[in-house]
A and B are shown apart, each in its own frame.
Chain A
Amino acid sequence: MARENVRRRFEYEKFGPLIALAILFVISAFASPYFLQTQNLLNILRQVSYTGIIALGMTFVIISGGIDLSVGSMVALVGGVVILALNWLVGIFGAGGEAWAILLALLVGLLFGAGLGALNGLMITLGKIAPFIATLGTMAIFRSMALYIGSAGVFRSESRLFPDLGMGRVLGIPNPVVVFIGLAVVFAIILNKTRYGRYLCAVGSNPKVAKYSAIKVNLTRFISYVAVGITVGFSAVFLSARLNSMSSTNGGLNYELDAIAAVIIGGTPMTGGSGSILGTVIGAITLGIINNMLNMLGVSPYLQGTVKGVVIIGAVLIQRKRAQ
């Protein structure tokens, strides 16, 4: 009997978020005739891809037993720096080499994001500061740096080609969605098929056992913060490319909430030790559909936060029931 229960619970854990998404999907299809239109569905995917990409890295951080609150501010700072770098590079390469300038700017964004993630990681591993506190601090610092560099205004790109990166499509699928899906596959392989993924779960599950098992606990945790920094880099580049600018005040605002929410709705426990990239993708899309439906049904935007909050709390409640 006991064994039966164990198995049933296990499968529910795996498919719970997917079933929830399927139900939401069906309800939405009935509630609005526009929902199932390809353009609307692609729109939803594009809208969630910016925070969805970050949620992939966030999944790693949460599995390791940590949290990163600084990602939203990091988007603004990285986006701002990318645009400054792009403008400078365009000046050097001239109109003919704009594509090169954009490619280099993308690289700058990824490296800078990785660097900021490394800063968080160092404080948390070597400095032994609690992840919540360390990233709460850098959340304030990164935003303030973005505001200072951008004089509390908007970073504007002088490139004519840059928006093509943000608005472009591959086989009809918007670029950020392609990146989101591509990165999700990479992260899923790392998590499930490589040593690093195994170590990440071990460290999050019980750091002491991991240490006794000859695993480099600090390095493993450090890498997870670098990983989330790189995802912020991708997100910041594609977000600023779409608008051809980045606001130092509003850029990436509250992204940390959506990213963490996607991870939690996807079934990754806040206590760490295990997690699912597919779950996070499902979580991000769930959030997107909820937003989309509320918009189509004409619910006041002020109330959308309430619905989102209820969904997050509900997801955690179901998780806790499962754990018991």
Chain B
Amino acid sequence: MGDVLIETQGISKEFSGVRVLDNVGIEINKGEIFGIIGENGAGKSTLVKILSGIYTPTEGKVFFEGNEVDIKDPLHAKAIGISMIPQEFNLINELNVYENIFLGSEITSKGFLKKREMKKRTVSLLEELKKSIHPEEKIERLSVAQKQMVEIAKAIAFDSKLLIMDEPTTVLTLNEIETLFDLMRNLKESGVTIIYISHKLKEVREICDRVMVLRDGKTISISQTDEADEEEMARRMVGRDLSQVFPEKVSPSEEIVFEVEGLSSHGLLEDISFGLRKGEILGFAGLVGAGRTELAETIIGIRKKDSGKISINGKSVEIRSPIDAVKSKIAYLSEDRQGSGVLTSFDMIKNTTLISLPAYSKILINNKLEKEKTKKYVDKFNIRAASLKTRLEFFSGGNQQKVSLAKSLDPEPEIFIFDEPTRGIDVNAKREIYRFMNELVREGVSCILISSELEEIIGMCNRVIVMKEGRITGILEGEHINEEEIMLHATGLKGVA
């Protein structure tokens, strides 16, 4: 083994008393590609945020090139040679490509910007990534994949010794992923060390030398990539067999309760048609930016449609706002829990009855009735909170999501749209939500499940619609619901593009 570039000893991190990272020790060699895998909330991002100076560890030490370092902030990390490509874009929309790449590290001469020099460097960086993006294009006009490439260019623009990539391929097509992997191999040749975070096991196996599995903040294993197959890695990630996570599927009736015909919205959706059966879970798969959330938001009247028809039980309905959607018995569980799902400054009771409040009040609100109903949801969903009056900002993600569910469920919907219902919550809460969806369809409610987690789509859905760039590229049923078919349709290699 070569020289050790970075080493951690007993790194732990607590957020308001909750231990999200527990005594993690790693040693990564120079020129190695080191994979970190784990479920959402396993602590992957927390660990690399410590290494790149965004968080300070509660306990533990970090050694870089043999010396103990106390990485104060991302600027400090960059200065000693650590750069990170974050999971969420960190680009300024109003600036153009080269200004973003050199933001904070502008090339100057006597206090003046050397724009030509920076543009030239940008062009050659993007050439390396096989991307022809004009250096003076505004970030806001780039596609999601192009933005990702700019992030990567920004990270490699300065000679880093350690490059951290946090789920960089989520939004990339297969070709783009190949280009990225070639680049990573080149960087490795020239001695750069890479930490690669993903939950896509196949990619990790393809590119990484060694893999660490994290679960609930703890190191489960560190092994050579070829020592464990995908199934074994998945078991380590989840801590149990995958089959236990999802309840048995329920067969829907043939009756179509909800139908969308020719729905279009300029630049977002094109000619979307599908039917939802009573008691069905219909999955919507696709890459980020495929238009799935936009479709849901158009259905419930948040976004305006240009054309198309929606009918419920064979009758055409006009939905212009969420108010109409609630009247039509449609519920939407938003993917953005805190942005559009629950009010973090409200307590559980006020959140639960927010949509269905008219049912609790003539002139004055019946507080007793509200409280009783909320208690029922606490039991039903096993919500853990200090009291009914605790504000939601003090809840964990999983418990917030359960309150959000209770809120959407309280108006007694017949059609329930789930948008990334398990994002950022722990495995147990996930299982409870799957069980709840199963219960719903048994009661005859029809569900749409939008999810970027393929296991979830495969494990839960009766049929799967795959979308790409605002269009439906395929409707999969039965044995066709598998990872490969979904990805082929999602990237446009198969189906109507």
Contact = CB atoms under 8 A, between A and B. Distances in A.
Interface of A: 1-3, 6, 189, 193-195, 198-199, 201-202, 205-206, 208-216, 273-274
B396 to A, nearest CB: 12
A202 B340 contact: no
B186 to A, nearest CB: 43
Contact of B355 (A2, A201, A214): A214
A3 B384 CA distance: 13
Nearest to A212: B340
B323 interface: yes
A45 B459 CA distance: 68
B365 A194 contact: yes
A213 B407 CA distance: 9
A205 B346 contact: yes
- Most chain B CB within a 10 A radius of its CB, from A3, A205, A213: A213
Contacts of A210: 343
A318 B341 CA distance: 30
Given A1-B17, A213-B355, A208 B386 contact: no
Contact of B350 (A2, A194, A198, A214): A198
B386 A3 contact: yes
A211 B341 contact: no
Nearest to B332: A212
B75 to A, nearest CB: 25
Interface stretch (B136-144, B241-249, B356-364, B484-492): B356-364
5 contacts: A189-B364, A193-B364, A213-B354, A214-B325, A273-B345
A2 B364 contact: no
B345 A6 contact: no
A207 B321 CA distance: 14
Contact of A2 (B17, B302, B342): B17
B394 interface: yes
Interface residues of B, number: 31
B365 A193 contact: yes
B340 A274 contact: no
A113 to B, nearest CB: 24
Given A6-B386, A211-B322, A216-B323, A195 B357 contact: yes
Contacts of B344: 205-206
B303 to A, nearest CB: 12
Contacts of B345: 201, 205-206, 273-274
B179 interface: no
Contact of A202 (B322, B341, B346): B346
A3 B393 CA distance: 12
B484 to A, nearest CB: 35
A215 B322 CA distance: 8
Interface in B294-348: 302, 321-323, 325-326, 332, 334, 339-346
B335 to A, nearest CB: 11
B16 interface: yes
B390 interface: yes
Contacts of B302: 211-212
Contacts of A273: 343, 345
B413 to A, nearest CB: 12
B346 A208 contact: no
A274 B350 CA distance: 13
Contacts of A194: 361, 363-365
Contacts of A202: 343, 346, 354
A2 B386 CA distance: 11
A311 to B, nearest CB: 26
